[in-house]
Amino acid sequence: MHRVDFVELAGYGPGRGTGGSSAIRLLKDLDLDIVGQDILLVEDVVDTGLTLHTLTRTLGLRNPRSIAAVTLLDRPYRRLVEELPVRYVGFTVPDEFFVGYGFDLDERYRNLPDLHLAAAGNGG
């Protein structure tokens, strides 16, 4: 049997978005009990790994059988954390900003049916 649940995390602190240190805060926790369960975390982008690392450690304290992650976009060369459970990767991408397919730039371009590099000078 498969079940779906959601968490919401937020980064905050002086380094958010600048490559400096920031803390990860849990805004919405799981509703389901995960003891003894195989957990598959679904991420849009894995970049520094700080968020996924925090979530993996938090959920690991609840004794799941296993934790793995899937991501659409992966930037392994930006990792600040090693040993992440990223098992499935859609695309390994360069250090560029992407829009479309749900990714936005200032709340624009999210509706594009595929991924595009954001034009330089437009915040990307």
**Catalytically active residues, by annotation:** 47
Sign, CA dihedral 102-115-54-123, equals: negative
**Which residues are CB-neighbours of 96 under 8 A, at least 6 positions away?**
117, 118, 124
* Spatial distance between the Cα atoms of 42 and 73, rounded to a whole number of angstroms: 11
Round the CA-based radius of gyration of the chain to a whole number and report it. 16
State the DSSP code for 103.
B
